[in-house]
Amino acid sequence: MPPECQQLLRSLEKATGQLASLDRNDMDQVQHGLEERARAIDALQGWIAAEQRASRPVSPEIAGQLTRDLEAGAGILVRLALDRDATRLDLMAVNRAQQVLRGLGSPSPARPTAIDCRG
Protein backbone atom coordinates (compact mmCIF):
# COMPACT_ATOMS: atom_id res chain seq x y z
CA MET A 1 0.00 0.00 0.00
CA PRO A 2 1.47 3.39 -0.98
CA PRO A 3 2.59 5.62 1.93
CA GLU A 4 0.27 8.43 0.82
CA CYS A 5 -2.70 6.07 0.98
CA GLN A 6 -1.61 4.77 4.39
CA GLN A 7 -1.48 8.33 5.68
CA LEU A 8 -4.94 9.11 4.27
CA LEU A 9 -6.40 5.93 5.78
CA ARG A 10 -4.82 6.75 9.17
CA SER A 11 -6.31 10.22 8.94
CA LEU A 12 -9.77 8.77 8.26
CA GLU A 13 -9.39 6.21 11.04
CA LYS A 14 -8.28 8.92 13.48
CA ALA A 15 -11.18 11.22 12.55
CA THR A 16 -13.65 8.34 12.91
CA GLY A 17 -12.18 7.33 16.27
CA GLN A 18 -12.33 10.90 17.56
CA LEU A 19 -15.93 11.22 16.42
CA ALA A 20 -16.82 8.03 18.29
CA SER A 21 -15.28 9.31 21.52
CA LEU A 22 -16.75 12.81 21.47
CA ASP A 23 -19.20 14.16 24.03
CA ARG A 24 -22.32 13.95 21.88
CA ASN A 25 -23.95 16.67 23.98
CA ASP A 26 -21.36 19.20 22.81
CA MET A 27 -22.66 20.15 19.37
CA ASP A 28 -19.57 22.23 18.51
CA GLN A 29 -17.35 19.19 19.08
CA VAL A 30 -19.66 16.97 17.06
CA GLN A 31 -19.77 19.48 14.19
CA HIS A 32 -15.98 19.79 14.18
CA GLY A 33 -15.60 15.98 14.28
CA LEU A 34 -17.99 15.54 11.36
CA GLU A 35 -16.13 18.19 9.36
CA GLU A 36 -12.76 16.51 10.06
CA ARG A 37 -14.11 13.15 8.95
CA ALA A 38 -15.63 14.67 5.80
CA ARG A 39 -12.25 16.22 4.91
CA ALA A 40 -10.53 12.87 5.42
CA ILE A 41 -13.09 11.13 3.20
CA ASP A 42 -12.75 13.81 0.51
CA ALA A 43 -8.95 13.48 0.53
CA LEU A 44 -9.20 9.71 0.20
CA GLN A 45 -11.75 10.00 -2.62
CA GLY A 46 -9.37 12.37 -4.43
CA TRP A 47 -6.51 9.92 -4.07
CA ILE A 48 -8.62 7.01 -5.34
CA ALA A 49 -9.83 9.09 -8.31
CA ALA A 50 -6.23 9.99 -9.18
CA GLU A 51 -5.25 6.31 -9.01
CA GLN A 52 -8.12 5.41 -11.32
CA ARG A 53 -7.18 8.15 -13.80
CA ALA A 54 -3.64 6.73 -13.81
CA SER A 55 -5.15 3.27 -14.49
CA ARG A 56 -3.74 1.87 -11.26
CA PRO A 57 -6.05 -0.57 -9.47
CA VAL A 58 -6.97 0.02 -5.84
CA SER A 59 -5.93 -2.93 -3.72
CA PRO A 60 -8.49 -5.08 -1.91
CA GLU A 61 -6.65 -4.27 1.33
CA ILE A 62 -7.54 -0.60 0.90
CA ALA A 63 -11.14 -1.48 0.07
CA GLY A 64 -11.35 -3.65 3.19
CA GLN A 65 -10.00 -0.91 5.42
CA LEU A 66 -12.39 1.61 3.88
CA THR A 67 -15.32 -0.72 4.41
CA ARG A 68 -14.49 -1.14 8.11
CA ASP A 69 -14.07 2.60 8.59
CA LEU A 70 -17.27 3.45 6.75
CA GLU A 71 -19.21 0.87 8.79
CA ALA A 72 -17.85 2.42 12.00
CA GLY A 73 -18.90 5.85 10.70
CA ALA A 74 -22.38 4.57 9.89
CA GLY A 75 -22.72 3.29 13.46
CA ILE A 76 -21.72 6.69 14.80
CA LEU A 77 -24.25 8.42 12.55
CA VAL A 78 -26.99 6.08 13.78
CA ARG A 79 -26.14 6.98 17.39
CA LEU A 80 -26.20 10.69 16.50
CA ALA A 81 -29.60 10.28 14.82
CA LEU A 82 -30.93 8.51 17.92
CA ASP A 83 -29.55 11.32 20.10
CA ARG A 84 -31.24 13.87 17.84
CA ASP A 85 -34.58 12.09 18.16
CA ALA A 86 -34.23 11.80 21.94
CA THR A 87 -33.45 15.51 22.12
CA ARG A 88 -36.48 16.29 19.97
CA LEU A 89 -38.72 14.24 22.27
CA ASP A 90 -37.24 15.95 25.34
CA LEU A 91 -37.88 19.33 23.78
CA MET A 92 -41.49 18.38 23.05
CA ALA A 93 -41.96 17.36 26.71
CA VAL A 94 -40.47 20.66 27.88
CA ASN A 95 -42.80 22.57 25.56
CA ARG A 96 -45.83 20.67 26.91
CA ALA A 97 -44.79 21.37 30.50
CA GLN A 98 -44.30 25.03 29.63
CA GLN A 99 -47.83 25.21 28.19
CA VAL A 100 -49.25 23.65 31.36
CA LEU A 101 -47.33 26.12 33.50
CA ARG A 102 -48.61 29.02 31.43
CA GLY A 103 -52.16 27.71 31.83
CA LEU A 104 -51.76 27.38 35.58
CA GLY A 105 -50.16 30.77 35.92
CA SER A 106 -52.80 32.82 34.15
CA PRO A 107 -55.50 34.31 36.36
CA SER A 108 -58.90 32.71 36.26
CA PRO A 109 -61.67 34.70 34.61
CA ALA A 110 -63.29 37.25 36.90
CA ARG A 111 -66.67 36.29 38.32
CA PRO A 112 -69.43 38.84 38.47
CA THR A 113 -69.81 40.38 41.89
CA ALA A 114 -73.54 41.07 41.54
CA ILE A 115 -76.24 38.47 41.00
CA ASP A 116 -78.59 39.30 38.19
CA CYS A 117 -81.66 37.53 36.98
CA ARG A 118 -79.58 35.29 34.68
CA GLY A 119 -76.86 34.25 37.02
Query: Rounded CA gap, 11 and 43, in Å?
Result: 9
Q: How many CB atoms lie within 10 A of CB 67?
A: 10
Domain limits, the chain: 3-104
Residue 46: per-residue pLDDT: 92
pLDDT digits (tens, 9 = 90+) for 51-96: 888 888 888 888 888 888 888 888 888 988 898 899 899 999 999 9
Q: How many CB atoms lie within 10 A of CB 63?
A: 11
The radius of gyration of the chain's CA atoms, rounded to the nearest angstrom, is: 28
SS3 at position 56: coil
pTM over 0.85: no
